[in-house]
Amino acid sequence: MAIAEGKKMPAGSFSVMGEAGPEALSTDALFAGKKVVLVSVPGAFTPTCSKGHLPGYVSHADELHAQGVDTIACMAVNDVFVMHAWGKDRDVGDKVVMLADGNGEYTKALGLELDATGYGMGHRGQRFAIVVEDGIATHVAVEAAGEFKVSKAEAILAQL
């Protein structure tokens, strides 16, 4: 069952690139006492993700922060090295935290996995954005197949 508004986000962890290499980031550290926009894309370096989804959050980061968002985080079922390289390629700087859900465990815990085996991409995460306030999902926007509307930065800004 997919995460729903008003529900506590599942416990888990991600990999992030630290100064000395890969590090673990727990959901407690990410969500506790903060307002977070958690964005998921089916894959780093893929067309819609690279040209629209992630860049939208980078360009609207100041507006999101002005609406009380503490952290913007982008996750994908990719390894930490790919997520780090993608963040550098898209020039996210410190505007977006790049989260690797390498084995898709957190995506599965959210109930938002995507079977992309027909495209040669294996099992991934659906395209979505969740507004999380102190560990509680307050807005859940999951895209319909092939869509890019409800999870884009502009749509999330309109919900804040």
Catalytic residues: 49
Alpha-carbon distance of 91 to 55, in angstroms, equals 9
Alpha-carbon distance of 77 to 39, in angstroms, equals 12
**End-to-end Cα separation, the chain, in angstroms:** 25
Of 61, 54, 75, 71, the closest CA to residue 131 belongs to: 71
